[in-house]
Structure 1
Amino acid sequence: MKTKLVIYQVFTRTFGNKNLTNKEYGTLKENGVGKMNDFDKGVLRRIHDYGVTHLWFTGVIRHATCTDYSSFGIPTQNPRVVKGRAGSPYAITDYYDIDPDIAVDVDARMAEFDALVARTHAEGMKVIIDFVPNHVARQYKSIAKPKGIEDIGEGDDTGKHFDAQNNFYYCPGEELDLSGVVDNVYAHDAEAYYEFPAKCTGNDRFDSHPQQNDWYETVKLNYGVDYCDAGGRSYHYHPLPSTWKKMTDILLFWAAKGVDGFRCDMAEMVPHEFWAYATQQVKERYPEMIFIGEVYDPNQYRMYVESGFDYLYDKVGMYDCVRGVMCDECPASSITHEWQKVDDIRDHMLYFLENHDEQRIAFDFFAGNPWKGVPGMIVSALLQQNPVMVYAGQEFGERGMDKEGFSGQDGRSTIFDYWTVDAIYKGFFNRKALTIDEKKLSLVYQEILRFCNREKAIREGLTFDLMYVNPQSQQFNPHKQFAFLRKADDEVLLIVANFDESCVKINVTIPSHAFDLLGIPEQKVEMTDLLSGFTKEVALKRDGQVPLDIEANYGRIYKFHIKK
């Protein structure tokens, strides 16, 4: 049976934190930290009950931090090249190690991760972790690499800006200049950071003077591309660059630990030729492994799919569009254009409304109301067979209004600071504190996500977009409503998402072409709304209309069976 992927992203460090101090720029001792062991059987079962098939543990691999773990043999990092007291999970300091923050017993951190993978699998879900291939922390040093593995940067010729067998890019004869980076409160008393020769910065900054808005805490990895060649960019893939081999070894290491998929950070900043090589190497040994690419350039989507990616972020297309509809900045009918643009690779597109990079729906300067996300979730989860993703706390209406420290009050749940996310704490560890509205919202999310695999028409059925035959009229508003059909065997779903803040009574036209394409006969049927249980009898006629009433920021998912 085909499975539609339902991915639940958790930020491991904050998810299980029950310390409510939440002091701005607080230390681990002050604000506490969540652990892998917080994902016990009960928590995992509750996540699985949302219809989740894959659990993405963000921030698992050891990364730069201001917290001192030197007593455990873990190298310290200079706070001047760490973002936030807890540090960014995308500034990796050891690809072969587990972040000590999330372990109860630091010395047994890898064993705790192995147990987490086993528990997650036992509860019927697969495990996804981040793979960060474009850059590492400035003070990268592996203490956990397997015997016989050469470290990143080991053996580099630091006297060259570029060499195809170097792992980094260098500025020969130049010291790293951080004068353009503003010291944060936690770095005022830190020693000056010295790096010579300077390594080039992660966001393709090929000089020794990174600025405040650069990824100054990271260094760019070299996959055999000379970005500063006198004749323009040049490629040096023969013989195979050292970085290709080292990064593929890292993927194979985690695959051997039972990881089922990788969310690949900033995948388009790494040449597609590497991905074709690495995904083939991994999938030869682990055929079920999935690769999810963070790719933002639609012109490159097909190239990265051809290079082995199973799924790609649909951010600049579907996410931006649905966000615009929720914020009344574009019509609901524009959703049609977004799925049509990538219709040839639609099964490879990953839909979402929140993740760690995006603002929370309920944020005052996004939608300001978590219920405005419900019609968007109906579309994202139910429109196609492709995967859908939810970010922990979204289902309880997390507002993202906290001012945590490095991240500031930006509408995102921090990935840089020690913190407890209110909605997650209440939703998983103090449920009596949830309001009636928060409980109701979470139940709606649960129902929608469960339909993804419970209903064959959603899981593997055909889609028919009804927007082209439902223009602006007294009975339908394409600026606020989006309607489509799903069908598998004799089961048909009529789905309408209402982005209006008012209840509406509408008529949805079903064209003759839908009857022909989906094999629907003209007949009377009894429709049941899967969200409310409400039933109604409707006479299906070619180019006829189905009358519906829909609550504000909600939808109808009417299921009916056809008789041949």
Structure 2
Amino acid sequence: MLTQPKTNTFRPRINLLLAAIAAVGIASCGQPPVEQTQIAADPEPIVELSATGRHGKPVIYQVFTRLFGNTVTTNQPWGTLELNGVGKFNDFTDEALAGIKELGTSHIWYTGVPHHAVIRDYSAYGISLDDPDVVKGRAGSPYAVKDYYSVNPDLAVDPANRLAEFKALIERTHRHDMLVLIDIVPNHVARDYQSLAKPDGVADFGADDDTRVEYARDNNFYYIPGSSFQVPQWPADYQVLGGDAHPAADGQFAETPAKWTGNGARAAQPAFDDWYETVKINFGVQPDGSYDFASLPADYAEKDWQAHYQFWQGKEVPQTWLQFRDITLCWLDFGVDGFRYDMAEMVPVEFWSYLNSHIKQVNPDAFLLAEVYQPDLYRDYIKLGLMDYLYDKVEFYDSLKLVMQGTGPTSALVATQQRMADIEHHMLHFLENHDEQRIASPAFAGDARKGMPAMVVSALISTSPTMLYFGQEVGEPGAEDAGFGKPSRTSIFDYIGVPHHQRWMNGGKFDGGALTADEVALRDFYTRLMQFSASAPALLGDYYELHTENLANNTAYSEQQLAFARYSDAQQLIVVSNFNAEHSSQFELLLPADLIKQWQLADGIHGLAGQLGEGASALRVTNGVGRVNIALPPLGSVVYRVQYQE
């Protein structure tokens, strides 16, 4: 059973760190790499952040940090920060955080916090200029990290004080009983990585590389000796910065020898659809795919993080491993409570065993979420890589998206749940994130209401956490042509406003005062559902699918409905959703004798209490078989709790 996550209190360097902020505007929160045996001492005890009384599942609220607080509505394609605006750490006021907490949120994933390449002049703060020929958009991709020991200066009211402003945001978030996640992107960094804030004795990625060779175990990057980097051949419909003049937009970027590109492309001139703004990190994987480090024995899939931690003691590992260990421990020291790992599958699972066991040694309750898209790797990255959670994208989300679009059967969701039964607790569910199309966009479902039955199913079908993306709860359609970012997804590359979300912000009041009636109703639905998900003990209990039997024996039940039960000793729930957007659905739901026996329900009438405001109903048990009359409007759902016997 999940317990309330705890915040990390192992922060011996915080006072020194904050003292340095005033001097340089940023501060190191790590120490030079040391041998593994030097950090084996027991950490200081970890204490509870707060007593929230949560009984249900974690709810992660992802915010794209630079967009969340932006109130400017200009939205000109390729617009500058001055024209289109930008959100700040300080925009996450107590009122804003209370509004996020209202959605049942336990963790906020602040996306885009580490300092990444951005087309804006911060040279007055000692920051080197970035070249638009190797930056996507004007505001830059958050996954082209330039300095892992600092934060994006765009996000600070005073860029010189940016780390202190982020520290204050962490503390505000904790006061609202929520924990903080940030991105770590081990697979690649910005083409021009330069850390202004690195601790004394720590070298930048690549600074000590032997650039004469394609590969060396302790090089941070892979090289193409004898070749210089060339910017991609731009498509006919693309112009850097939308064609705006810029002194560095000259089709050139100095890099000799050329490095491999972030997605593994080995050409000196990557393609436009490669991750050309980044360079791939070397984790000790040779160009032929063989490993230059110790293999993790297969039986470690059944061992805990303490055993993994001990396995790596005394073993030589690539230099990159040590550097990312120090980066993540730095942020734990600073107050961050966990990480979302970008494209984890592109980094060997042994590294994750090493990194995550070292993180758990410092904070056993650190929340570790990874992006993995290959189902055949899921179990390795959970069991050998020690990931707490993975995106359930390719299995559950992809099947659910087809159901929402009216082109897939709900039986696919039942099959997916069965396939994932052994790891379902570790598979994070979501309907939106920064990579996916907005539900309300025409390219996805064209109507935010089609997310309502899907959200009920996604949030309640398993013991896994649920993630919301900011603006989802008010039907944001991602309709803006932002520049590099195009409609259907809210741009992660540009300065842009998020109109539906801005109506909830209501000029900084964060009270929803400018929302339409439909948007108010949608947010109310999300609030009720996610609060229930965050508090219902049955959702950490057992699952029983009701779909197959009702599909076979109930002519009014179809592949556009989905029914299942969730239960624990404290609570028994019946969940039914109708994905038909045009027609209501009425039928008698059958509850098999096996489930009725498990629930120990005698023949008779048992009261059902609606959990999402749908009123009461009744469960009739005759000869050990249960029946419930179900009436659902288009896109409607019911969640009933078995309450009493009449």
Identify the TM-score tier after normalising by the shorter chain: over 0.9
Partner-residue secondary structure (3-state), 1:160: coil
Residue among 87, 91, 96 paired with 2:149: 96
Q: In structure 2, give the amino acid aligned to 1:528.
A: A
Shift of 1:209: 1.8
User: Residues 91-490 of structure 1: matches in 2 within 5 Å?
Assistant: 91-182=144-235, 183-184=239-240, 185-186=242-243, 189=246, 190-191=249-250, 192-227=252-287, 229=288, 233-237=289-293, 239-306=316-383, 307-409=385-487, 411-430=488-507, 431-458=512-539, 460-471=540-551, 475-490=555-570
Note the aligned Cα RMSD (angstroms). Answer: 1.6
On the 8 A contact 1:364/1:401 being kept in 2, the answer is no
On the 8 A contact 2:56/2:536 being kept in 1, the answer is no
Q: Distance in 1 between matches of 2:602 and 2:79?
A: 64
| Deviations 1:491-541 (CA, angstroms, capped at 9, x unpaired) | 311110110112211211100111233433333111122222411233223
Partner-residue secondary structure (3-state), 1:454: coil
Q: In structure 1, give the amino acid aligned to 2:524.
A: L
Shift of 1:401: 1.3
Partner of 2:131: 78
Partner of 1:509: 590
| Deviations 1:79-116 (CA, angstroms, capped at 9, x unpaired) | 00000000000000001111000100100000000000
User: Residues 23-38 of structure 1: matches in 2 within 5 Å?
Assistant: 23-38=76-91
| Deviations 1:9-44 (CA, angstroms, capped at 9, x unpaired) | 000001100111111100111111000100011100
On the 8 A contact 1:80/1:187 being kept in 2, the answer is no
Shift of 1:370: 0.4
| Deviations 1:257-315 (CA, angstroms, capped at 9, x unpaired) | 11111000000000000000000111101111111010000000010001110000000
Q: Residue 348 and residue 150 in structure 1: after superposition, are their counterparts in 2 closer, same or farther (change >3 A)?
A: same
Partner-residue secondary structure (3-state), 2:276: coil
Partner of 1:543: 625
Q: Distance in 2 between matches of 1:392 and 1:326?
A: 20
Shift of 1:474: 5.9
Which sections of structure 1, spanning at least 5 residues, go unmatched? none
Q: Distance in 1 between matches of 2:229 and 2:614?
A: 64
Once the two structures are overlaid, the 10-residue window that deviates more, 447-456 or 464-473, is 464-473
Percentage identity across paired residues of the two chains: 42
| Deviations 1:297-353 (CA, angstroms, capped at 9, x unpaired) | 000001000111000000000000110100011111211011111110111000000
Shift of 1:408: 1.8
Which sections of structure 2, spanning at least 5 residues, go unmatched? 4-54, 295-315
Q: Distance in 2 between matches of 1:103 and 1:477?
A: 54
Q: In structure 1, give the amino acid aligned to 2:609.
A: T
Q: Distance in 1 between matches of 2:613 and 2:425?
A: 29
Q: Distance in 2 between matches of 1:544 and 1:358?
A: 40
On the 8 A contact 1:85/1:186 being kept in 2, the answer is no
TM-score with structure 1 setting the length: 0.96
Shift of 1:433: 2.1
Once the two structures are overlaid, the 10-residue window that deviates more, 424-433 or 88-97, is 424-433
Q: Distance in 2 between matches of 1:139 and 1:252?
A: 24
TM-score with structure 2 setting the length: 0.84
On the 8 A contact 1:222/1:243 being kept in 2, the answer is yes
For the pair 1:530 / 2:608, whether they are aligned, the reply is no
Partner-residue secondary structure (3-state), 1:256: helix
Shift of 1:490: 4.8
Count residues in correspondence: 558
Partner of 2:43: none
Partner-residue secondary structure (3-state), 1:343: coil
Q: Residue 474 and residue 520 in structure 1: after superposition, are their counterparts in 2 closer, same or farther (change >3 A)?
A: closer
Partner-residue secondary structure (3-state), 2:86: coil
Partner-residue secondary structure (3-state), 1:324: helix
